[in-house]
Structure 1
């Protein structure tokens, strides 16, 4: 694995330069398809649409880089997972040494696959086939919100420019464009779904272009766009509460959001984490999620985790220093990720997340169509049903159990007392801050294993309270006692797009390290 990472770093330097250095070559072919081809049910337009879906995650059968696209950064930072390996002599993301060779992967994939395909669709069918253009907008926003939430300012509105310098947009500007694009997509698609709720992008619902459970049904993609709009509205709620409220309330209007498990959006493929945790043994259950779920005696553990050799759900703490003895013992002592990553489905958006977003929105006084408690409890119930777990009512009404202390079976240095000391049962008597902690804790549990979204939300709200890494080897770049807030900009941007990079740092409003907060990451929750 280490050798693969070194090779990847070299390939990036010599073959990519940076995403901005070869925009012209990637995007200049505006005439991939003839008008005659476009008239044939837009068959050739389906290729870039299919590509946008397929490359949301770098799948194992295509490329090993998915391990560093999200698994060895966001999945660990979110508290979901931990690595039992001593990559780079224990100087890696887990110990807050942010590795450029790892953390460039998501950026590179997003621009060379998602943005290029989105631009191809725009040039082909924006005026001739707006339905497909709308579809590409939804996919583009879904892909790129992960990138801006990793790094902050990004190249977005100027992508495809033939200028020598490609400017960055501020994160605020990027989010404004996200909201505009999602609204545009829904406005284009709504007449089709209004006329026929079974309307599809294709003649055949089983068209292989749509590799998701949405099966090309326009109404399902409208609900996905609205759900994504609600997610992004909540993301900016602490920095721009007025706009956040307006966008959230608009998102639940019309056809609304994904509210039932029947409308969940999964990409139909084996989750790459299945390989990382089993075949490669690169990843195990994180200490934070094991602490919380063990303390709550959460029935979903059977779906989320496999038991360790001694019959327990055992996590590994972020920042653990791994020596040879530790590595030898780790295979049996720590739990691997369970059936949730071996079902042939990669979650994109589920109903349980919509319920928890509405619970927080209602807590903020937004018109979500229900109370914080009603959405909180329905969010838990929906998650239990999704994961085939029983006992939701008993779980919801438990006001005694608390997260468990964490104990490392191999090294007591990693032991730590429980941090997220909040019970499950809803109470109107507690403060809004505690209510938010309850909502976010249960949401965090429900959206597993989506570490990218979980990391973003723990940064935004501070909940659930996670374990700091046992070891922080960042040499002060991420101060002791603090959590990583972002990934550095790709190192290639400094050399191949230096003016754009400098502008990006200026828009960031701080130094280009993992300690600088993003625009929406204010550190203060708004109610």
Structure 2
């Protein structure tokens, strides 16, 4: 993270500073080794592009998809048995978050603000950077819990940041998203936006949709606050159709290709998991052909990978169903926030009574639920009116108030296929779908992890604050429940 971010230029300055100490005036060297052809004006559009290229990393993790049991490992099953404990978040801090903080700093400083308007109006750059920064911190805190936030990204000004409470992080993220939406002006749109092409209306809906999902995330920890934020985000406007879904478009080139494509280039380590596929089969789900490929051994049936096996000897690579090939082309897009996810969020909110009346509106919940299924089928390219009508008429699928949260959760699990960390977070919050850790888990308590442990660099380089967070949040173990996951 930022305490590890020492740029090459900073290192040179530190080393050369020793030599400079004997000089009478440092300014004697002010023109030495200066490239007369290099621009001194920050290029914020490049910083934005660099940050945006990190968006897929929040949704395409194989570990996240394993935790959610969307997929299972075919050969080396350590991750499926939850062997991994410590996961690093350093790259998020020194990559996209630092880029976004620089955009914020350049556009906020009266001295530099006029020099960076080539990247769009100052207000629009600030709004986009704040929304993206909130999105990345939302992802980080959902995985680790309490993390450096208020003192993060200060680089050499603070090498040992404190860990902020997740509750405080959520509070500030809500504020940041609301203020950012209001910050857009009629000036020049942002440049370097490879995600939403600088469209302020799209960015506003992205922020509101994110805030809606964040609000429901408080259903256990702080439902009163969650309800207020939920209703506010909904009234401000969220996405409702798959055409509005927020997709990151990959390119048919190595530098910008889909991560699943890269994983399958030389190895076939991941297949659709048996628990996930079994549920899809149980409801005759028409999305199966998009989510999985049939085995190549001639079997006419889809076959899921048994989850969490200690030994996969005897399971032929050609005898199981791999991730649907349409989802892992080199230029296949990846969903960052889908309309289906938003619609299932709206459905659950109405089922919980998160509305002006303060009582469950089962009619509205059912409508959002059905539309969520429809838009999910559209997102996977499998929608057909006839098969859709038959699907939602099945007893296991048809909306019923008494079983609303479970049914919504299972459909959300399907819609979030391969967006494993979000599906895992929803499982932690709701308890659905019902997942089994498998026959031979290696986690500390034999259960599916509830969080990820901090990078070991925190213990090595930030020990005082690391010890403090253990006192406030609990042991740095995968079975420690973070604030939004408290029972």
Deviation digits for residues 257-316 of structure 1 (CA, Å, limit 9, x no counterpart) = 111222111111143123324532121112221111111111111111111131222221
Aligned to 2:193: 210
Aligned to 2:19: none
Pick aligned residue for 1:424 from 391, 397, 400: 397
Aligned to 1:174: 169
Over the aligned positions, Cα root-mean-square deviation in angstroms equals 2.4
The answer to whether the Cα contact below 8 Å between 1:24 and 1:160 also exists between their aligned partners in 2 is: no
Pick aligned residue for 2:242 from 248, 261, 267: 261
Deviation digits for residues 206-231 of structure 1 (CA, Å, limit 9, x no counterpart) = x6x2222x322110110000000001
1:435 Cα deviation from its structure 2 partner: 0.9
1:462 Cα deviation from its structure 2 partner: 0.6
1:20 Cα deviation from its structure 2 partner: 4.5
Task: Could you tell me which runs of 5 or more consecutive residues in structure 2 were left unpaired when the two chains were aligned.
Answer: 12-38, 114-121, 251-256
Task: Could you tell me which runs of 5 or more consecutive residues in structure 1 were left unpaired when the two chains were aligned.
Answer: 1-18, 30-35, 59-65, 193-198, 400-422
Aligned to 2:303: 314
Matches within 5 A, 1:2-401: 19-23=1-5, 25=7, 44-58=43-57, 71-86=61-76, 90=77, 92-100=78-86, 103-104=87-88, 107-126=89-108, 128=113, 129-161=122-154, 162-189=157-184, 191-192=185-186, 201-202=189-190, 209-212=192-195, 214-254=196-236, 256-269=237-250, 270-277=257-264, 279-309=266-296, 310-326=299-315, 329-342=316-329, 344-367=332-355, 371-389=364-382, 390=384, 391-399=387-395
Aligned to 1:488: 453
Deviation digits for residues 45-70 of structure 1 (CA, Å, limit 9, x no counterpart) = 11111111102235xxxxxxx9xx96
**Secondary structure at 1:82 match in 2:** strand
Distance between the aligned counterparts of 1:27 and 1:348, measured in 2?
Answer: 34
Closer/same/farther in 2, CA of residues 132 and 70 from structure 1, 3 Å limit: same
TM-score for the superposition, normalised by structure 2: 0.83
The answer to whether the Cα contact below 8 Å between 2:55 and 2:248 also exists between their aligned partners in 1 is: no
1:325 Cα deviation from its structure 2 partner: 4.1
Distance between the aligned counterparts of 1:324 and 1:293, measured in 2?
Answer: 26
Closer/same/farther in 2, CA of residues 147 and 140 from structure 1, 3 Å limit: same
- The answer to whether structure 1 residue 511 and structure 2 residue 484 are counterparts is no
**Secondary structure at 1:253 match in 2:** helix
Closer/same/farther in 2, CA of residues 200 and 372 from structure 1, 3 Å limit: farther
The answer to whether the Cα contact below 8 Å between 1:23 and 1:159 also exists between their aligned partners in 2 is: no
The answer to whether the Cα contact below 8 Å between 1:200 and 1:216 also exists between their aligned partners in 2 is: no
The answer to whether the Cα contact below 8 Å between 1:81 and 1:285 also exists between their aligned partners in 2 is: yes
Closer/same/farther in 2, CA of residues 160 and 308 from structure 1, 3 Å limit: same
1:468 Cα deviation from its structure 2 partner: 2.0
Deviation digits for residues 116-153 of structure 1 (CA, Å, limit 9, x no counterpart) = 11111111113641211110111112122111111111
The answer to whether the Cα contact below 8 Å between 2:55 and 2:336 also exists between their aligned partners in 1 is: no
The answer to whether the Cα contact below 8 Å between 1:78 and 1:454 also exists between their aligned partners in 2 is: yes
Aligned to 2:427: 458
Deviation digits for residues 231-258 of structure 1 (CA, Å, limit 9, x no counterpart) = 110111211011101111110123x011
**Secondary structure at 2:485 match in 1:** coil
Distance between the aligned counterparts of 1:172 and 1:387, measured in 2?
Answer: 35
Q: Which has the larger radius of gyration?
A: 2
Distance between the aligned counterparts of 2:194 and 2:171, measured in 1?
Answer: 29
1:24 Cα deviation from its structure 2 partner: 6.0
The answer to whether the Cα contact below 8 Å between 1:166 and 1:500 also exists between their aligned partners in 2 is: yes
**Secondary structure at 1:449 match in 2:** coil
Distance between the aligned counterparts of 1:155 and 1:50, measured in 2?
Answer: 24
1:348 Cα deviation from its structure 2 partner: 0.5
Aligned residues: 430
Distance between the aligned counterparts of 2:153 and 2:61, measured in 1?
Answer: 29
TM-score for the superposition, normalised by structure 1: 0.77
Aligned to 1:417: none
The answer to whether the Cα contact below 8 Å between 2:93 and 2:153 also exists between their aligned partners in 1 is: no
1:507 Cα deviation from its structure 2 partner: 2.8
Distance between the aligned counterparts of 1:381 and 1:231, measured in 2?
Answer: 19
Closer/same/farther in 2, CA of residues 27 and 500 from structure 1, 3 Å limit: farther
